[in-house]
Each structure stands twice: as C-alpha cells, then as structure tokens.
Structure 1
C-alpha cells in the first residue's frame, strides 16, 4: 500500500474498506493461526499465546482463538507426541533423557503440569 504513492486520505479509505469487507480481521487471523500451529506444528497453548502477543493481538481475541482447540484433542495430541518423542530419545543417562524430553515440550509451548505428569508416567514404564 505504501509503494503505490497514495495520499494519506486514500490510504485511510483503503484501510477502512478492507476492514469493512472483512479482509483485515484480527479475530479470524488469530483463530486460523491457532488451529494451524496446533494442528501442523503441534504447538502447545503457551507458545501460541506468546506468538499472538508478539503480533499485538489483544488478550480478548487470544482467549477466543484458544477456543478453537478442542481440549480432548489437545490432550490426545500431547500424549501421542510425548510417547513418540520419549521413544526417539536415545540417551542412556536417565536424567539427560528426562531433561531433553522436558526441554523439547517447553520449547513447543506445552504446559508444565502436562509435561511433568507425562514424564513421570513414562519413567514408570
């Protein structure tokens, strides 16, 4: 828009038009972002919230967007991912394996309670 050498009035009118026709919609963006990052990248809610905050999305819209994630599907995804990742860590030192597991899921933005609960369950197997 800035490279078209429009006047400030024209830029403002164009922006109003895009918002009015629902081409620019923060809520729709946040919902789509949430669904996509959880489904494809397997991000947890913490990472999604932080990424949306970094994009200056309001807390109200972030709460609405997080409703896009089904709670039972969220836990199911975490369990599948956790079991697969636990098996993929070839570390022989038990403490290092545990640290690698926890660090991986913390980076992905999963909740601490979920991670530590799951690692305790997997250690008993």
Structure 2
C-alpha cells in the first residue's frame, strides 16, 4: 500500500470520526473493509488518537450517557456492549459510576416495571413476576435490583407479583 492510499484512508477515517463519537474497534473494522493492512490500521488509529479524533474515555462517557438517557438500558447491558468494543474495564466502570446515579437508576427501573406491569396479561402473580424479571433483564438491569423494585411495588400496594423472594 502506498502512502497516498494511506493518507486518503486517514482523511476518510478523520471525517468518519468527526461526524460522531467512534471507538478504535469501529475504525479498525472500517479500515479492514477498505483493505488496509494491520500495520496501516495501527498507524492510522494512533494518529487519530494523537489528534483527538479518537478518545476511548470520551467514547465510553458518550455511549453510557446515550444508552442510559435515551434507551433506558441498565448497567449490565451497557457494560456488555462496551466490552464488545474492546474498551478497557476501568474506563467503562468510571463512565458508569460517573453518569448513572443509584437513585436515578432505581427510579428508572421502577418506572419501566410499573409501565410494563400495566401491559402484562398474566393470570398469576408468579407469571407477572417472571415477565417483569425477563423484561428488566432484557433491558440490562441486574436481577437483585429488579427483585428489590418488585418488592417495593408490592409494599406500595401496586398490583405487583407477590412470589418474589
């Protein structure tokens, strides 16, 4: 690969990163699809990182904030998706603890479960509990947090499942 092709790839990747926040694995996938060798990929990623087009910590914060605020994902699902992108655990945990407060986390989970409960058609409280649990886990919330929330709903006299323990 000659230097003109590498320079052209660098410019394309800079424009790609300038449009929205990207992580290094996204850029590597794109470069591989363009036919870049691993050496070229590493040089381009290093240059983009040096010029602040790529920043793993910034990407983690942005991803956590978007998935939490707009998609209402739980910590488990956010953490899983960030690990799939080969980001360091310390940056993931830092972003999660910085941007998701425990009180807000429980309030969102409570809101999601109450909304889901009104849409569930189940004959027994056990069926309702199982459906609520599956729903919350699919959104990435931890099982213990879901159980705590369901118990709190039961204590509030909401038509919540009684068989959670």
Q: Which bracket does the TM-score occupy, shorter chain normalised? A: 0.7 to 0.9
Offset of 1:72 from its aligned partner? 2.2
3-state SS of paired residue (1:84): helix
TM-score by length of structure 2 reads: 0.65
Structure 2 gap segments, 5+ residues each: 1-8, 10-30, 158-165
Residue in structure 2 matching 1:89, options 120, 132, 137? 120
Judging changes above 3 Å, is the alpha-carbon distance between structure 1 residues 80 and 20 closer, same or farther for their aligned structure 2 residues?
same
**Pairing 1:27–2:57 present:** yes
Distance 2:83 2:69 in 1: 20
Q: Deviations over 1:14-50 (max 9, x none)?
A: 4333111211111111111111111111111111111
Offset of 1:95 from its aligned partner? 1.3
Aligned counterpart, 1:50: 80
Count of aligned pairs between the two proteins: 123
Structure 1 gap segments, 5+ residues each: none
Judging changes above 3 Å, is the alpha-carbon distance between structure 1 residues 95 and 13 closer, same or farther for their aligned structure 2 residues?
closer
**Pairing 1:104–2:135 present:** yes
Structure with more contact order per residue of length (Cα contacts < 8 Å, sep ≥ 6): 1
Judging changes above 3 Å, is the alpha-carbon distance between structure 1 residues 95 and 12 closer, same or farther for their aligned structure 2 residues?
closer
Distance 1:5 1:63 in 2: 32
Distance 1:116 1:64 in 2: 26
Distance 2:85 2:35 in 1: 25
Judging changes above 3 Å, is the alpha-carbon distance between structure 1 residues 79 and 21 closer, same or farther for their aligned structure 2 residues?
same
